[in-house]
Amino acid sequence: MSVISGLDEVTDANFEAEVLRADLPVLVQFTADWCGPCRQLAPVLRDIAFAEGDRLKVVRLDVDRNPATTLAYQVLSTPTLLVFQDGEPVRSMVGARPRRRLLEELADLL
């Protein structure tokens, strides 16, 4: 569990098990401790994780500590949000956004 975000943290080692093989769609925040917009987005993601936990899993991945997954999905900036469904990335969003906008962007996946 990340102290900064309050979200479960995934790593290169457990990404396949926690994200690619998940039963629910998974929203992955590619983030870094030094990223200001990532910290702004953290409470939004916590709220969504709590409110939509039965329909969506929300996790974070630190790009500095997990270069293999970051490179595999060609993440070039933080925060990048990728939604995975059935083991495949189905949505990509870059940058912080308010809760309402993010929920609108995810509506068809929930």
Give the full edge-to-edge strand order of the sheet including 26-31: 8-9, 57-62, 26-31, 80-85, 88-94
35 is catalytic: yes
Q: Which of these is catalytic: 7, 26, 35, 45?
A: 35
Using alpha carbons only, what angle is made at residue 80 by residues 86 and 64, rounded to the nearest 5 degrees?
105
8 is catalytic: no
Q: Which of these is catalytic: 38, 63, 82, 83?
A: 38
**Which residues are identified as catalytic?**
35, 38
